[in-house]
Amino acid sequence: MNRASSPEFSFSRDPRIGRTIVAAEELQSRVAQLGKEITVDYAEHPPLFIAVLKGAFMFLSDLAKHVDLPIEFDFMAVSSYGAATRSSGVVRIVKDLEIDLTGRHVLIVEDIIDSGLTLQFLRKNLLARGPASVEVCALLVKEGLQKVDPQFRYVGFSIPPEFVVGYGLDAAERYRNLPYVAEYRPDAG
């Protein structure tokens, strides 16, 4: 039996899970605030939410519950990490959109911004498809790591430049179900 699925397993006893960066209650409160801001800002033009998979799925799900507009969703998967804890710097599209963006107001829903290079690639790619606008809603932005001038319309939290897991964020596909965001210590386990 996998220890993660055994009854005695607890994230609090996993040595790779470090200090809490953003508590579950803080996440839920800020996500609700972001949803209200989006509702007001897009009242005249409900946006198409484009979630960047896999990390943004929990954020998107919770955020959408607080947006009081008839929004649509599409999903895109891009990769610059693989199984590593540092970006390779090479961005590739793993899953592309199914909806035409022409004339649409697009809101990219992103889990975390590190260097900003993946987001820069994504923005350029989406702008080439003829949307009316492209804005970004990032749950987490790592402080001081952006290599390009970031332009985010909505930001949940600025966090220290550490590798983190939880609330959709993973380390080699694990820990996405952690209900808060925590420091990840790969050498501790």
Cα(1)–Cα(5) distance, integer angstroms: 7
Q: Residue 63 corresponds to which tokens in the numbers above? A: 């955020």
pLDDT number for residue 174:
93
Q: Which of 68, 114, 170, 187 is catalytic?
A: 114
Cα(39)–Cα(91) distance, integer angstroms: 31
Decide: residue 72, CB within 10 A, 0-12 exposed, 13-18 middle, 19+ buried: exposed
| Domains and their CATH numbers in the chain | 3-188 (3.40.50.2020)
Answering whether pTM is above 0.75, one says yes
Only one residue has tokens 């891009």, namely: 78
For residue 170, the number of C-alpha atoms closer than 13 Å in the C-beta half-sphere is 17
Among 11, 59, 17, smallest CA distance to 183 is for: 17
Q: For this structure, is 96 an active site residue? A: no
6-39 tens-digit pLDDT: 444 467 789 999 999 999 999 999 999 999 999 9
pLDDT number for residue 88:
52
Q: Which residues of the chain have pLDDT under 50?
A: 1-9, 84-85
Cα(109)–Cα(42) distance, integer angstroms: 15
What single letter denotes the amino acid at residue 143? E
Q: What does residue 35 show for φ and ψ, rounded to 5 degrees?
A: -60, -40
